[in-house]
Structures are given as C-alpha cells and as structure tokens.
Amino acid sequence: MHTRRLEWIIERALFLCAALSVLTTAGIIVVLAVETFEFLREVPVVEFLTGTEWTPLFATPRFGVLPLVAGTMLVSAIAMVVALPMGLLSAVYLSEYAPDGLRRIVKPVLEILAGVPTVVYGYFALMFVTPLLQRVFPQMAGFNALSPGIVMGIMILPLVSSLSEDAMRAVPQGLREGAYALGATRMQTALQVVVPAAFSGITAAFILAVSRAVGETMIVAIAAGQQPRLTANPFVPLETMTAYIVQVSLGDTPQGTLEYRTIFAVGMLLFLMTFVLNMVSTWLRERFREEYS
Amino acid sequence: MSVVTPSVASLSGLTARPGQPPARADAPVKIDVDRMNFYYGAKRALDGISIQIRANLVTAFIGPSGCGKSTFLRSLNRMNDIIPATRVEGTVLIDGQDIYAPGVDVVELRRRVGMVFQKSNPFPKSIFENVAYGLRINDMARSKAELADRVEESLRQAAIFDEVKDRLQDSALALSGGQQQRLCIARALAIRPEILLMDEPASALDPIATQRIEELIYDLKKTYTIVIVTHNMQQAARVSDHTAFFWLGRLVEYDRTDRIFTAPAEKLTEDYVTGRCG
C-alpha cells in the first residue's frame, strides 16, 4: 500500500514536470498572440507586413517590418554561405574519409564551437572580424551585416556539419559497396552516392541551421548595428528582428504602449518563421528515416 | 578442423582434391587462389584457401554462417579493402594476374569483377541512372545514344527491361524487392565484367523472384564466370556446376555440384548437405 502511494506521488510529480514545460510554451504563445492581436488592432496587418519603414520610436512612428525581416535575411544568408559549403565538406570528410580515431576526436571538438557563448562570438565579430574586413573593404562601416554574418556562419557550422555527418553515416554501407563494386572511387562514392542518398537529412540540417541563424540574437545585437534599413548592402549598419527586440526590451518603453507591443508582434513573426523552418526540418528528417528503415 | 584428404572422386580420373579443378577440367581457369589466408585484425577468417574457379561456369560457395564464404567472395574483387584492419596472405590470380600485387588498380579490378549483394542496394536515383552509373564513372559510353543502348541491353540481360521500360526515369526505390535485385544485376552487367560475384542474391526474395534470379544466372553463365554464395542448398544444387563447401574458414571440399550433393568425399560435407550439422 505504502509503495503504491509513493508510486502515485512520483508519477504525478513527473507528470507535473513534463506539464510545466508544455504549459510554459503554451503561455508564451498565448502572451505573444494576445499582445500581437492588440498591436494589430492599431496597426493594420498589411501595413505591418509590407511597410518598408520601421520607426516605431520616432515622433511619427512607422510600422513596416520589412527592414527588420530583410536585415535578418541578409545576415542569415551570409551565415549560410559560410556554413553550408564548409559544413558539408567537413561532414563528407568526417563521414567518408576520417579514420575512426580521428573522427572521435574531431567531432566533439567541433561541437565545442557550438558551446561558445554567443556574446563571445558577438564581440569577436565586432572587435576582430570587422577591423580585419575593413582592411579589405575600406568603405565598410563599424557596424555591418557581413562581419556578424560570417561569425554566425562559423557558429552554426558545427550544427550543419554534425547533423549532415549523422545523415551521411546513416546511409547504408551497402550503397557505398554498390558504388565501389562498380569501380567508383572514394570521392565519387561520397559525392555521387552518399550525399544524394543523405540529401533529405542534409537539407534538414541546413534548414535547422537557417532557423538557428534567423533566431540568433547576441551576435547581431552587438555587431550589426541598430538601424532598421531595407538594404542588401552588407557593409552598412542594419537591424535584425532579434536585435530590435533586444533594443526595445532594454530601453525604457512603458508597458502597454504601442511601442511596447511591437516587441511581441516582431517576436510572433520571428516565432512563426523559425517554427515553420523547424517543422520542415523535422519532416525532412522523418522522411529520411523512412527511406532507410 | 578436418584434415583434407584426397577424395574418392579422384579415383574417377577427375581431381577433386580441394583447390584443384574438378569436373569440366576443359574449361579454362579464371580465378586461381593459392594458400590464401585472410585476417580481420588478429582474427584469421580464412585459412589456407586454394581453389581454381573455371570460366563460364557457375561456382557455388556453401557453408554455415560465419564459415568465411562471403569473406572469400568479397576478397575476389577486393571489396574487403574498405574494411579497416584487414589483411590478405597468399595469392589470388585472375587470368594469371595477382590482384593483390602492389600497383594493381582496384578500380580496374572491380570493373572486371562485378558484384551483386545480398541486400539489393539501388542508388537513390532513377532506374536509368542506376544502370548508367557504372558506365558514366568509367567513361564507357561515348554518346548519349550509346549510353541508352547499353542501359537497355543490360536491363534486358537482367530480364527486367519489359517491366521497367515505360518508367526508366522513376526512382529505383519504387521497385519491388525482386525487381530491385534484378536492377542491381543489370547495373553490375552494364560495365561488362568478366566475372560476376553474387553474395546470396536471392536470400531476401520470395520464391517467384528467386526463381527468376536463378533462371537469370543460368542464362548469364554463357557470358560470365559466376561465383555465388548461398545459404540455400537446393539453390546451389539447381544453379551451380561446381560447389565449394566452407567450414570454419577452411575449404573442405570442392567438386562437381552433383557429386557434392550425392557422393561427397568428406564426412563433414555429407553431414552438412544432409542437414546433420551446420
């Protein structure tokens, strides 16, 4: 009797722990949704989504989110240009070439890169990479998209490489043997058979990395500037969605005002973007698993 | 394990000593293996294998799981090279050339010695591209038309063309298990190997698909030297001309298939083929 009671208590306690995280998530979404709804009562959704000026803190506020979205896209795109080829190539090396012992050392080391606090990356971008790039591009401003983009690429590189490597190692050995048996070289086998076979898994890794880049905050808040600007120029200061949220959250915007609610509207949009990306990534990984189960 | 002794078959004028040519001694020797040992790390998986495999016949390797027959098969196109820490001693000659000699081009070797695996392993590409792959990487087709011809010819040889001719651009993964295996045979045949190694090619297939593969093997031996590993003794009896019985990494007996199954020289072989052991 006593034991059964204890079991009951433990079971309930565990359930509460699990429920807590679900409820927290739900709570966040509800708050986001409510505040966003309030915001959209004052700013038409069309103006919000298609406006090209974002000046909510000015005397004549404008609420077009596109400059923030464009800033996010530009920095993420630069990050992906860095992370995709390098991540894929290092995955090919680790999965198809590296001897077991080397892989066992290199992979954890690479994953340590993912453990560096992002604020460190942010200052690395601002104080080291930007001055370095300014020697090559003298016209580049102190705050810009290129430097945080590159550093963010380095930050998500382990994610791309590690998940792509997992996908490639999950490709059945039989496929490699099939290629070798036809006289394929190691390189042909890796690039023409293994990579295509792992394609959906690799794509899932890429999309997850994009999602990570879109949501990344500290690097861009520190090194990209805080000037919402609709531009594709990587040399000038701009502001991303995340950096804007930081800016307003740290400021003295009174609660309940329209300026205050912009945080939630931008946050909601950001959430939707990363949510969709994560869903696509999960779906691709599931599909990949089915192909080789 | 068993000490190999001259068998009764040698009395009939045909040498049946392991490693020596048994029946059909008129067929030329294609693969000549002499005292070959094979190691996975420190573990010896094959022990003193000597065998002469004859051209344009079907040779079956039988024996219980782990007896080394697959390992031996895979050493004939150096497929074991991709497994770390493996080592070969002795000689393996194909057409008189030592395939383990330094400087041998493994790619060239595998082009001459094709392989079909136990589990069908089509690439995640179209049916056409699966068969074309070997031709492409080996630069064996000079034009698109030639490539298409060779693909069709190979699919016909593997007796699958009629089933797939209207959907060559579809994914190979959509085919049934038996079709996938015949596609893999077509893929192996496309580069016109001289030898075809088959590692339990029908073990994952239903009886009807198995029968098609067996008929195919019968047709193919006109053109190719075929070596097939099988768990299924009826299959060995049906498709092969010669049979080699492996036991614990050794070649116990090698003879004409009918003799192996009706009058084996070794007690161990008899016990195995009659189901008393293994």
Give the DSSP per-residue string, A63-80: B--HHHHHHHHHHHHHHH
Query: Looking up tokens 């370095």, which residue turns up?
Result: A132
Write out chain B's pLDDT in tens, 278 residues: 444 444 433 333 344 445 555 555 678 899 999 999 999 999 999 999 999 999 999 999 999 988 999 999 999 999 999 888 899 999 999 999 999 999 999 999 999 999 999 999 999 999 999 999 999 999 998 899 999 999 999 999 888 999 999 999 999 999 998 899 999 999 999 999 999 999 999 888 888 888 988 998 998 988 999 999 998 889 999 999 999 999 999 999 999 999 999 999 999 999 999 887 76
Kindly state whether residues A121 and A153 are assigned to the same domain. Answer: yes
Q: Do A181 and B115 touch (CB under 8 A)?
A: yes
- How many other CB atoms are there within 10 angstroms of residue B79's CB atom? 22
Q: Do A197 and B79 touch (CB under 8 A)?
A: no
Task: State pLDDT tens for residues A262-274.
Answer: 999 999 999 999 9
Q: Do B123 and A196 touch (CB under 8 A)?
A: yes
Kindly state whether residues A128 and A209 are assigned to the same domain. Answer: yes
CA angle B233, B234, B239 (to 5 degrees): 100
Instruction: Report yes or no on A50 lying in a domain.
Output: no
Instruction: Report yes or no on A56 lying in a domain.
Output: no
CATH number of the domain bearing residue A207: 1.10.3720.10
Kindly state whether residues A174 and A264 are assigned to the same domain. Answer: yes
- Torsion over CA: B85, B86, B90, B96 (sign): negative
Kindly state whether residues A199 and A134 are assigned to the same domain. Answer: yes
Which residues in chain A have Cβ-Cβ distances shorter than 8 Å to B108?
A: 183
Picking from A176, A183, A193, the nearest residue to B111 by CB comes out as A183
Instruction: For residues B212 and B230, give the distance between their C-alpha atoms in angstroms, rounded to a whole number.
Output: 16
Instruction: Report yes or no on A215 lying in a domain.
Output: yes
**Helix, coil or strand: residue B132:** helix
Q: Do B191 and A175 touch (CB under 8 A)?
A: no
Kindly state whether residues A31 and A73 are assigned to the same domain. Answer: no
Kindly state whether residues A232 and A98 are assigned to the same domain. Answer: yes
Picking from A177, A188, A197, the nearest residue to B137 by CB comes out as A188
Task: State pLDDT tens for residues B53-108.
Answer: 999 999 999 999 889 999 999 999 999 998 888 999 999 999 999 999 999 999 99
Kindly state whether residues A84 and A202 are assigned to the same domain. Answer: yes
H-only helix segments in B92-204: 106-112, 127-137, 144-157, 161-164, 177-190
Kindly state whether residues A100 and A226 are assigned to the same domain. Answer: yes
Instruction: Report yes or no on A164 lying in a domain.
Output: yes
Whether B37 and B44 have beta carbons less than 8 Å apart is answered as yes
Query: Looking up tokens 């800016």, which residue turns up?
Result: A247
Kindly state whether residues A118 and A23 are assigned to the same domain. Answer: no
Range of the domain at A32: 2-42
Which residues have C-beta within 8 Å of that of residue B167, sequence separation ≥ 6? B127
pLDDT cut 70: percent of chain B above it: 90
Instruction: For residues B20 and B51, give the distance between their C-alpha atoms in angstroms, rounded to a whole number.
Output: 6
Instruction: Report yes or no on A54 lying in a domain.
Output: no
Kindly state whether residues A276 and A187 are assigned to the same domain. Answer: yes
What pLDDT does residue A28 have? 93
Kindly state whether residues A176 and A78 are assigned to the same domain. Answer: yes
Picking from B114, B117, B187, the nearest residue to A177 by CB comes out as B117
The ipTM value here is 0.86
Whether A237 and A143 have beta carbons less than 8 Å apart is answered as yes
Picking from B84, B107, B117, the nearest residue to A178 by CB comes out as B117
Q: Do A182 and B108 touch (CB under 8 A)?
A: no
Q: Do B117 and A192 touch (CB under 8 A)?
A: no
Instruction: Report yes or no on A153 lying in a domain.
Output: yes
- In B, what residues contact A, Cβ < 8 A? 77, 79, 82, 84, 107-108, 110-111, 114-115, 117, 119, 121-125, 133-134, 137-138, 173, 184, 187-188, 191
Task: State pLDDT tens for residues A108-154.
Answer: 888 887 788 999 999 999 999 999 999 999 999 999 999 999 999 99
Kindly state whether residues A15 and A95 are assigned to the same domain. Answer: no
Judged on CB neighbours under 10 Å (0-12, 13-18, 19+), A8 is exposed
Structural domains in chain A (count)? 2
Task: State pLDDT tens for residues A43-102.
Answer: 999 999 998 899 888 888 889 999 999 999 999 999 999 999 999 999 999 999 998 889
Instruction: For residues B72 and B229, give the distance between their C-alpha atoms in angstroms, rounded to a whole number.
Output: 10
Instruction: Report yes or no on A285 lying in a domain.
Output: yes
Mutate which of A182, A185, A199, A203 to disrupt the B interface (most B C-beta within 10 Å)? A182
pLDDT above 80: residue A291: no
Mutate which of B73, B81, B107 to disrupt the A interface (most A C-beta within 10 Å)? B107
Which residues in chain A have Cβ-Cβ distances shorter than 8 Å to B77?
A: 181
Instruction: Report yes or no on A47 lying in a domain.
Output: no
Instruction: Say which range, A237-241, A254-258, B6-10, B89-93, has the weakest mean pLDDT.
Output: B6-10
What pLDDT does residue A259 have? 87
pLDDT above 80: residue A2: no
Q: Do B122 and A184 touch (CB under 8 A)?
A: no
Picking from A175, A180, A192, the nearest residue to B82 by CB comes out as A180
